[in-house]
Amino acid sequence: MKLTLYEIKKVISQKVFITILVLSLLMNGFILSYTQLNKSDNYKLSHTKSYSEALSEYSSLSTDKATQKIKDKLLAYEILSDFQVLATTDDKRMAKDSEKALKEYKKNNPQAYAEAEKMSKSGEDFSNEKQMLEDISDQLEYIQFYPDFINEMDERAERQSKAKLFNDENSFSYKNLFKTADDYRALQGTKLEIGKITNVLTVGEYKISDYLVVAIIFLMCIYLFSFERDKGLYNLVRSTRKGRLATILSKLVSLGILTFLVSVVFTLSNFAVSACLYGFDTMNVNIQSFAEFRNCTLPFTVGEYYLVFILSKASSMLAFSGIFALFFGIFTNAVLKYIACGGIVGGELALYFFISADSPLSFLKYINLFYFSDTFSLLSTYLNLNVFSFAVNILTVAFVTIIFILVVSSSIVAVIFVKCNQQLRKNKADLIIESFKKKFCKINGSTRLISGESFKFFLQNKYAVFFLMLIVFSVFNCFGQEEYTYSSKSDYIYKIHMEYLEGEVTTDKLNYIKEKENYIKKLESKLNNSEFSDGMMGVITNTIENESNALYKIKEQYNRIKMLKQQGIEACFVDENVYGVFVSDPRREWMSFAFLSLILIVSIPSINTCEYKNNVICLIRSNKNGKLKLWLTKVMIGLFSTILSFICAYIPYIIRFINTYSLKCLSYPLNVIEMFESGKTISILGALYVELISYLFVAILVFSLVTFIAVVTKNNLISMLLSTVVIFIPTVVLNRNENLRAGNIFESNFIMPMVIIITICLILAVLFITLAGKRFTGTGFTQLRRSYETGN
């Protein structure tokens, strides 16, 4: 017990571990909320309050009454849409149909009709409310149908058992059929109510935290099983009285405990983030009340489900820890360990994703670590597996498999540890390489500082791998589509027009504009015509407004094009929304900047801190080029990494955007867009370049700040942490700030602001670099000793 506590303390007292844990928790929450916030048309997000109010309103009614009430409401929305069609369409037949329908509604459903009329006059957008009601109504419908579904199971079993296929009482199919029926019979009479389980679904679908936890388990295995072995401490440990079985068991137990805790913390934080966004779920309702859990045979309420979810997630993570521990026990070689663990994770992931449910190999999909850790599907689907022609529920299988993995791997690891020599043998591959080198390599190298420094940064500190991954990531990022969400109806209309109009001005296009003008005029004349009811008038006014807004935007742009033409500048029609976003989008700008600064925060400090970590700073600084020149070399490497990261962070988006909208007007003036009307004449591409240049200088500023922090703190992790606080967190907080960003500079004369931005960045960057350089080359290190004594 005491040993176990020591082992746990060993892991927890690692600063690296705690930092990584905290950072990944933050990242996990950030990604979860970011993906949720970015879901367009998510009424659950914007109407949290009215959604819960509606739920409590309808759940207090009987199912039939609630259904009826919602039906009435939905009818009103339907009538509303007819109003809209009738008022705005050009198509005579459609208009007639709608008119007829409306008359009918007025006669049969005067109440709903009146309501629709009221809504149409208000001119608001009701699609969210409608979606909400539809969802509730779906749930009500499902609740009514559920008893039939359960009863049907029994009947079906009876019926099917008579079929030929199910003749053999010992066959899996036969057993499965009756087991299924039995399991569902237990659910008869389950009370169903409406409610919401947004958090359950959100957290259930979210996979990132699983991957993070798996990575952290791997890290913990390194601390528990590799560290001492690598330092040759196992000989010492194993020679003590409790150094064998007790030690390895306590290591395994601590891995288990830590895994469990980490997993629970991550799941809880997921629920917490989701609850912050969506409010609380309805806790005391049976889980079968939701269509997603129709096939679930577990008799739980939502609240109990939470608990079961957290526990089963943690247990599935235990399986990972068991497998990892096994590999860490078997292999002494680091490379083999990585390959084995990576192989099993990758292999299982591939099996899980690529085997289809009806394949004969489907057991590989289901008896799979990733299926076990997909707790939501595990708990919400009903599945019996064929185990020696017995029908066994997947939950039992999962449970038994996990126990099996844990028992087998711990015993193997324990036996290996107790019996086998744990001394570190030299890696065979290394030996071969060494003897090869001894034969063929001459004493040779380069006397250029930069080659030694880059070796240190890229190869010794493994940042080559980091940047390679970054490059691969950004290449992948170049593909795919950009989504543009339209903020209003007129935006949408505008987009349709622009799809035709975009490009150079032609007479055809001018005619098109005229046509649209006429259409609006026609609508306006309809207004004067008093044959319409008030509701209709509302709808027509609305449409006129939207249409003319869109057209106005186009005509304004046409005016600007003409103006430019007078100055002898060729311009063309461009979609103001798309191109506007392309050149200036606060959200994207902040996101890319946050991403970039994260890369820099992770990579830059080690350029300047590795000397302190290796205790060689004194050795280096006493040489001829060990001060200024060394410093400049380090700055060069840092700048190179900064530029590389900059490209990886900013360019993929641009390529993706161009691919999506196939922007053909990039070389035409930006100034046809209203937002940039008053600015200096510059082509869209030119603006992009200018913007990128100013971002680059901002990136360099970030680089210099991180460098400064690294030189002052002399410790990799502390400087990462500090720069996160100083740079990254403010960036995320400012995320939505529209005033504080480079894109603004085009709205007025851009040369001045641009010059100002660049000079400020340059001055600050030079300042930070000089200060850092002073510190690096200076001899005022009173803490020289301490930094390398306590440095890790």
Partner 1 sequence: MKLEIKNINKSYKKGTVKALDDFTVTLTPGVYGLLGPNGAGKSTLMNIITDNLNADSGEVLYDGENIKKLGKNYRSILGYMPQQQGLYDDFTLNRFLWYMSALKGLKKKDAKEKITSLLKTVNLTESAHKKLGGFSGGMKQRALIAQALLNDPEILILDEPTAGLDPKERIRIRNFISEIAEDKIVLISTHVVSDIEFIAKEIILLKEGKLISHNTCNSLTKEIENKVFEVEIDKENLKYFQDNYRVSNLSHSEDKIIVRIVTDTSPKDYKIQKVKPTLEDLYLYVFEGGK
Give the interface with ligand ATP as residue ranges (CB under 6 A). 783-786
Within 8 A by CB and 6+ apart from 229, the residues are 332, 422, 424
* Nearer residue to partner 1 within complex by CB, 159 or 231: 231
Query: Least distance from C-beta 625 to partner 1, angstroms?
Result: 5
Within 8 A by CB and 6+ apart from 320, the residues are 213, 214, 217, 259, 345, 369, 373
Q: Which residue has the tokens 């795919």?
A: 480
Q: Report the partner that residue 460 touches, choosing among ligand ATP, partner 1, none (CB closer than 5 to 8 A by kind).
A: partner 1
* Nearer residue to partner 1 within complex by CB, 462 or 521: 462
* Nearer residue to ligand ATP within complex by CB, 62 or 783: 783
Q: For the chain, count helices (H), then strands (E).
A: 35, 2
Query: Least distance from C-beta 776 to ligand ATP, angstroms?
Result: 17
* Nearer residue to ligand ATP within complex by CB, 15 or 786: 786
- Report how far residue 32's alpha carbon sits from residue 203's, in angstroms, rounded to the nearest whole number: 9
Query: Least distance from C-beta 621 to ligand ATP, angstroms?
Result: 15
Q: Report the partner that residue 443 touches, choosing among partner 1, ligand ATP, none (CB closer than 5 to 8 A by kind).
A: partner 1
Query: Least distance from C-beta 721 to ligand ATP, angstroms?
Result: 23
Q: Report the partner that residue 449 touches, choosing among partner 1, ligand ATP, none (CB closer than 5 to 8 A by kind).
A: partner 1
Within 8 A by CB and 6+ apart from 389, the residues are 170, 171, 172, 175
Q: Which residue has the tokens 């109440």?
A: 111
Question: Is 288:190 a contact under the CB 8 Å cutoff?
Answer: yes
Q: Report the partner that residue 111 touches, choosing among partner 1, ligand ATP, none (CB closer than 5 to 8 A by kind).
A: none
Query: Least distance from C-beta 791 to partner 1, angstroms?
Result: 9
Encode 54-89: b = buried (16+ Cβ within 10 Å), e = exposed.
bbeebbeeebeebbebbeebbbbbbbbbbbbbbbbe
Query: Least distance from C-beta 787 to ligand ATP, angstroms?
Result: 8
The 3-state DSSP class for residue 63 equals helix
Query: Least distance from C-beta 617 to ligand ATP, angstroms?
Result: 12
Q: Which residue has the tokens 């050009």?
A: 90
Query: 571 — phi, psi (to 5°)?
Result: -135, 170
97, two tokens: 């149909």
Query: Least distance from C-beta 347 to partner 1, angstroms?
Result: 30
Query: Least distance from C-beta 422 to partner 1, angstroms?
Result: 18
Query: Least distance from C-beta 791 to ligand ATP, angstroms?
Result: 12
* Nearer residue to ligand ATP within complex by CB, 485 or 782: 782
Q: Report the partner that residue 625 touches, choosing among ligand ATP, partner 1, none (CB closer than 5 to 8 A by kind).
A: partner 1
Q: Which residues bind partner 1 (CB under 8 A)?
A: 426, 434, 437-438, 441, 443-449, 451-452, 455-456, 459-460, 614-630, 778-782, 784-785, 788
- Report how far residue 564's alpha carbon sits from residue 42's, in angstroms, rounded to the nearest whole number: 42
Query: 226 — phi, psi (to 5°)?
Result: -95, -35
* Nearer residue to partner 1 within complex by CB, 215 or 620: 620
* Nearer residue to partner 1 within complex by CB, 207 or 629: 629
Tell me the sheet residues that pair with 390: 387
* Nearer residue to ligand ATP within complex by CB, 620 or 752: 620
Q: What is the DSSP letter of 423?
A: P
Q: Report the partner that residue 447 touches, choosing among partner 1, ligand ATP, none (CB closer than 5 to 8 A by kind).
A: partner 1
DSSP state letters, 273-325: HHHHHH----TTSBGGGSGGGTT-----BHHHHHHHHHHHHHHHHHHHHHHHH
Q: Report the partner that residue 510 touches, choosing among partner 1, ligand ATP, none (CB closer than 5 to 8 A by kind).
A: none
Query: Least distance from C-beta 783 to ligand ATP, angstroms?
Result: 6
Q: Report the partner that residue 618 touches, choosing among ligand ATP, partner 1, none (CB closer than 5 to 8 A by kind).
A: partner 1
Question: Is 736:586 a contact under the CB 8 Å cutoff?
Answer: yes
- Report how far residue 400's alpha carbon sits from residue 58's, in angstroms, rounded to the nearest whole number: 43
CA 238 distance to own-chain centroid = 45
Query: 361 — phi, psi (to 5°)?
Result: -95, 15
Q: Report the partner that residue 452 touches, choosing among partner 1, ligand ATP, none (CB closer than 5 to 8 A by kind).
A: partner 1
* Nearer residue to partner 1 within complex by CB, 623 or 737: 623
* Nearer residue to ligand ATP within complex by CB, 358 or 789: 789
Q: Report the partner that residue 779 touches, choosing among ligand ATP, partner 1, none (CB closer than 5 to 8 A by kind).
A: partner 1
Cα three-residue angle 336-263-196, rounded to 5 degrees: 135
Q: Write the burial class of residue 284 (CB in 10 Å: 0-12 exposed, 13-18 middle, 19+ buried).
A: exposed
Query: Least distance from C-beta 612 to ligand ATP, angstroms?
Result: 13
Tell me the sheet residues that pair with 683: 669
Q: Report the partner that residue 298 touches, choosing among ligand ATP, partner 1, none (CB closer than 5 to 8 A by kind).
A: none
Dihedral sign, Cα of residue 642, residue 644, residue 648, residue 652: positive
* Nearer residue to partner 1 within complex by CB, 47 or 621: 621
Q: Report the partner that residue 512 touches, choosing among ligand ATP, partner 1, none (CB closer than 5 to 8 A by kind).
A: none
* Nearer residue to partner 1 within complex by CB, 496 or 616: 616
